[in-house]
Amino acid sequence: MNTAAATSTAELTLHPIGHVIASDESQTYLVVIDEPYRAALRGLDQFSHVTIVWWATECDTPEARNHLVTDLPYAPGVEVGVFACRSEYRPNPIAFTTMPVFEVDVDAGTVVLPWIDAFDGTPVLDLKPYIPVADRIRDVSMPEWLSDWPLWMEDAGAYFAEHSTDFGD
């Protein structure tokens, strides 16, 4: 049975499990999990990294959802479809960020992060532990417009400090 046709038109319901606290001023970056979901944090402190799945509420407009092709701010002159980049403008503004886990407090429902690229108050949809065998690929290919970017997150800070990019700040 082909269920693709039936599910492609189905309406989905998402329920946030928490929200982001992000303050550059106080350098506070947390994921706060709502009380009913806090038990799900058990064991997350045993992982070095977590992937946070969040809803880009700032881009949840009909115009943004219909924005299917975009100019890349970090690759002048390159225009691609939103499925070929990490643009926040997309049919469903689902975003994700993988970050080191500094601390997990199950009772308080908090995950302390070094930083996050989501706005303060952003709804969090899910957390997933970073597991190398599932999340890391050795042999990858990248388009020419990303060929000079580092392959590892740990190298990204130094790279972006030396290379000018316009992420729309």
Global confidence as pTM: 0.86
pLDDT tens for each residue of 89-138? 999 999 999 999 999 999 999 999 999 999 999 999 999 999 999 988 88
* Per-residue confidence (pLDDT) for residue 154, from 0 to 100: 84
- State yes or no: pLDDT of 168 exceeds 60: no
Report d(CA 131, CA 48) in Å as an integer: 9
* Per-residue confidence (pLDDT) for residue 169, from 0 to 100: 42
The domains found in the chain, sorted by start residue, are: 14-138 (2.40.30.70)
pLDDT tens for each residue of 26-74? 999 999 999 999 999 999 999 999 999 999 999 999 999 999 999 998 8
